[in-house]
Amino acid sequence: MPSSHPPPENHSFSGKIGKKAHRKLKARHSQKSVWFAVGMFGMVGWAVTLPTLMGLGLGIWLDRRDQGQYSWTLMLLVLGLGLGCWNAWYWVTKESRHD
């Protein structure tokens, strides 16, 4: 006698399709404007730029005070850039989860 319940594979597939359809409908009815995208783009830019420039400035200051074997400017520039990229990733994923 055939079972009236669909196999688990079909159930998970239909669930995925339902989630995608719901997400598309939600995006279509979203009230966000172009200005939201411009604001997000600006926020991501500043989230990367500020730590990078702060690392650069601190590195230049340290190099002027201490003429060591290693370049503080280069090390802190890379550290600031890495921190800025992590910061931007954090805010974008937080905003993505919020929707």
Token digits for 69? 């074997």
All residues at 6 or more sequence positions from 95 whose CB lies less than 8 Å from its CB, including other chains: 40
Q: Where are the alpha helices (DSSP H) in the chain?
A: 8-28, 34-65, 72-98
Q: Would you give the DSSP letter of residue 7?
A: P
The whole-chain average pLDDT of the chain stands at 81
Tell me the torsion sign for CA atoms 68, 73, 75, 79: positive
* Number of Cβ within a 10 Å radius of residue 71: 13
Say what the pTM is. Answer: 0.59
- Model confidence over 41-81: pLDDT tens digits? 788 888 999 999 999 999 999 999 988 888 999 999 999 99
Average pLDDT of the residues in 13-42 = 75
| pLDDT of 34 over the 60 cut | yes
